[in-house]
C-alpha cells in the first residue's frame, strides 16, 4: 500500500509540473525546422514547436524551387508566432497540382502562379472545369516571362519558322508562350515548338538545338544565370503594343522590365517583359482568423524573412492586392487589407 501511494504521489507531482509549461513557447533546443529534401513527388515536414490550433498544409513546388524555399521560411519564422494554427510545408508539382491539392482537401494553402489561379476559376486552358476552392491571400513577387534567344534574334516576330522551347507540357509557361505569340498574330503552328524544363532549354540553346526558349520565373533565374556564364545569347524585348495587348486581354499579366545587367555577361540593355505573380492562396474553408493572423505576422516579420529569402523583399501591401482580377479574395485577407487601407 505504501508503495502504491508513493507511486500515485510521484505521478501527480509529474503531471503538475508538466502543466506549468507554456504551450505557446518555442522550443529552446537551438534548432529550427526547415523543409527537407524529397525523394518523391510530395514531401512534408513537421512544423517547428510553437503556437496551437489547426495544422495548415501549405503546398509549394519542387524541393529545389523558390516556392518550397519561400514556404519553408514562412513555416520556420511564423509558426512560433501563430496562435490559431501551424503551417506544414509540402513539396508538390507546383501551380496546377496545387489547385487540385486544395480542391481535394489535401492542402489548405498553396503558392502558385496568378494566371493558373485565373484559369482554375474560369475552367480554361489547363482546366476542363472550374476549380474555385482556392482564394487569393497575397501576391508575393513577380515571375517574369523571359525569352532567351540565339544571338541576333531580337523580336518575337523573328521566331516564325524557328525551333522554340515553350516549357514543359501542360505548364503555365506553355500557356504564357501561346499568349505572347498571340500578341504578334502568331500561334505555335508558326514555330517548331519543343517542350522541356528551363535547364534543358538553356542547354539546348547553348548546343544550337533550339533558337529560343520561354522561361517563366523570378529573375535572375538560375538556369539563365548558368547559361550567362558559359554561352552567348540575347533576350527578346516585347514591343509596347504587345505589352498593351497582353495586359489588357490577360489582366493577371503585368509589365516587368528587367534592367541591364540582370545577366551581366550577355544582357547590357533593358528588356521589356510581362510577368505573372507568385500568389499565396487559401482554401475557402480555411478560417478567417488564421488567414488574418498569418498576414499580420508576415508583414510584421517581413524584414527578418527577407534576410533569409530575398523574394520577401517584394512583399508590399500594394503588390499583395494587385492583379486579383475576378478571383475571390479570402475573407481573412479582405479584412486585413481593408484595415490597412489598400482595399
CB neighbours of residue 312 within 10 Å: 21
Residue 93: phi, psi to the nearest 5?
Answer: -80, 15
**Which has the closest alpha carbon to 87: 319, 298, 311, 279?**
298
For residue 280, what pLDDT is reported? 98
Q: pLDDT tens digit string along 234-286?
A: 999 999 999 999 999 998 898 999 999 999 999 999 999 999 999 999 999 99
Residues 150 and 116 in one domain: no
Q: Is the pLDDT of residue 18 over 80?
A: no
Q: 227 or 251, which is more confident?
A: 227
pLDDT band at 169 (very low <50, low <70, confident <90, very high): confident
pLDDT band at 28 (very low <50, low <70, confident <90, very high): very low
Number of domains in the chain: 2
For residue 283, what pLDDT is reported? 98
Helix H, strand E, coil C: the string for the chain is CHHHHHHHHHHHHHHHHHHCCCCCCCCCCCCCCCCCCCCCCCEECCCCCCCCCEEEEEECCCCCCHHHHHHHHHHHHHCCCCCCEEEEEEECCCHHHHHHHHHCCCCCEEEEEHHHHHHHHHCCCCCCCCCCCEEEEEEEEEEEEEEEECCCCCCHHHHCCCEEECCCCCCHHHHHHHHHHHHCCCCHHHCEEECCCHHHHHHHHHCCCCCEEEEEECCCCHHHHHHHCCCCCEECCCCHHHHHHHHHHCCCCEEEEECCCCCCCCCCCCEEEEEEEEEEEEECCCCHHHHHHHHHHHHHCHHHHHCCCHHHHHCCHHHHHCCCCCCCECHHHHHHHHHHCCC
Q: Is the pLDDT of residue 152 over 60?
A: yes
Residues 123 and 238 in one domain: no
Tell me the mean pLDDT in the region 196-204: 91
- Would residue 210 be called left, alpha or beta, if left means φ above 0 and alpha means ψ between -120 and 50 degrees? beta
Q: Is the pLDDT of residue 74 over 80?
A: yes
Lowest-pLDDT range of 9-18, 160-169, 196-205? 9-18
Asked if 123 contacts 150 with a C-beta cutoff of 8 angstroms, the reply is: no
Residues 90 and 117 in one domain: yes
Q: Residue 334 domain-assigned? A: yes
Asked if 325 contacts 252 with a C-beta cutoff of 8 angstroms, the reply is: yes
pLDDT band at 323 (very low <50, low <70, confident <90, very high): confident
Average confidence score pLDDT of the chain:
86
Q: Is the pLDDT of residue 178 over 60?
A: yes
Tell me the Cα Rg of the chain: 23
Distance CA 207, CA 172 (A): 25
Q: Residue 137 domain-assigned? A: yes
Among the three residues 277, 298, 326, which one is the final residue of a domain in this structure? 277
Residues 161 and 268 in one domain: yes
Instruction: Look at the block and give the residue holding cell 524555399.
Output: 69
CB neighbours of residue 32 within 10 Å: 15
Percent of the chain with pLDDT over 70: 84
Tell me the mean pLDDT in the region 287-309: 97
Q: 272 or 65, which is more confident?
A: 272
Q: Residue 29 domain-assigned? A: no
Its domain, for residue 336, covers: 51-141+278-340
Q: Residue 13 domain-assigned? A: no
Residues 287 and 218 in one domain: no
Residues 136 and 283 in one domain: yes
Residues 249 and 157 in one domain: yes
Residues 193 and 303 in one domain: no
Percent of the chain with pLDDT over 90: 69
Q: Residue 8 domain-assigned? A: no
Q: Residue 133 domain-assigned? A: yes
Residues 135 and 169 in one domain: no
pLDDT band at 62 (very low <50, low <70, confident <90, very high): confident
Distance CA 86, CA 74 (A): 10
Lowest-pLDDT range of 25-39, 100-114, 251-265? 25-39
Q: Is the pLDDT of residue 1 over 70?
A: no
Residues 130 and 150 in one domain: no
Distance CA 322, CA 317 (A): 9
Residues 250 and 288 in one domain: no
Q: Is the pLDDT of residue 340 over 50?
A: yes
Distance CA 273, CA 238 (A): 6
pLDDT band at 327 (very low <50, low <70, confident <90, very high): very high
pLDDT band at 38 (very low <50, low <70, confident <90, very high): very low
Q: 196 or 28, which is more confident?
A: 196
Lowest-pLDDT range of 141-150, 213-222, 293-302? 213-222
Among the three residues 277, 305, 320, which one is the final residue of a domain in this structure? 277
Q: Residue 34 domain-assigned? A: no
Q: How many CA atoms lie within 13 A of 23 on its CB side?
A: 9
Q: Residue 26 domain-assigned? A: no
Residues 154 and 250 in one domain: yes
Q: 54 or 26, which is more confident?
A: 54
Among the three residues 227, 247, 277, which one is the final residue of a domain in this structure? 277
**CATH number of the domain encompassing residue 83:** 3.40.190.10
Amino acid at each position: 500500500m505504501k508503495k502504491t501511494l508513493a507511486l500515485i504521489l510521484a505521478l501527480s507531482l509529474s503531471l503538475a509540473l508538466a502543466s506549468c509549461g507554456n504551450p505557446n513557447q518555442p522550443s529552446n533546443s537551438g534548432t529550427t525546422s526547415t523543409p527537407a529534401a524529397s525523394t518523391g513527388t510530395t514531401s512534408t515536414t513537421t512544423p517547428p514547436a510553437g503556437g496551437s490550433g489547426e495544422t495548415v498544409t501549405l503546398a509549394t513546388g519542387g524541393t529545389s524551387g523558390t516556392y518550397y524555399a519561400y514556404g519553408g521560411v514562412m513555416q520556420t519564422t511564423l509558426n512560433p508566432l501563430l496562435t490559431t494554427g501551424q503551417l506544414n510545408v509540402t513539396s508538390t508539382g507546383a501551380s496546377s497540382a496545387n489547385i487540385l491539392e486544395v480542391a481535394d482537401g489535401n492542402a489548405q494553402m498553396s503558392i502558385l502562379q496568378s494566371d493558373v489561379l485565373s484559369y482554375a476559376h474560369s475552367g480554361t486552358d489547363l482546366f476542363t472545369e472550374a476549380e474555385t476552392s482556392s482564394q487569393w491571400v497575397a501576391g508575393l513577387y513577380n515571375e517574369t516571362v523571359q525569352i532567351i534567344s540565339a544571338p541576333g534574334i531580337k523580336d518575337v516576330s523573328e521566331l516564325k519558322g524557328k525551333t522554340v522551347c515553350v516549357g514543359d507540357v501542360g505548364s503555365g509557361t506553355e500557356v504564357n508562350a501561346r499568349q505572347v505569340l498571340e500578341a504578334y498574330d502568331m500561334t505555335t503552328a508558326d514555330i517548331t515548338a519543343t517542350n522541356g524544363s528551363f535547364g534543358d532549354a538553356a542547354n539546348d540553346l547553348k548546343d544550337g538545338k533550339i533558337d529560343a526558349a520561354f522561361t517563366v520565373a523570378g529573375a535572375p533565374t538560375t538556369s539563365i544565370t548558368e547559361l550567362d556564364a558559359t554561352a552567348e545569347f540575347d533576350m527578346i524585348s516585347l514591343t509596347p503594343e504587345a505589352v498593351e495587348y497582353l495586359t489588357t486581354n490577360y489582366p493577371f499579366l503585368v509589365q516587368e522590365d528587367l534592367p541591364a545587367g540582370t545577366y551581366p555577361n550577355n544582357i547590357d540593355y533593358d528588356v521589356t517583359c510581362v510577368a505573372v505573380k507568385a500568389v499565396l492562396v487559401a482554401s475557402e474553408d480555411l478560417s478567417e482568423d488564421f488567414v488574418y493572423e498569418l498576414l499580420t505576422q508576415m508583414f510584421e516579420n517581413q524584414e527578418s524573412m527577407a534576410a533569409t529569402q530575398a523574394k520577401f523583399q517584394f512583399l508590399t501591401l500594394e503588390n499583395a492586392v494587385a492583379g486579383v482580377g475576378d478571383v475571390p479574395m479570402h475573407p481573412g485577407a479582405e479584412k486585413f487589407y481593408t484595415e490597412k487601407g489598400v482595399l
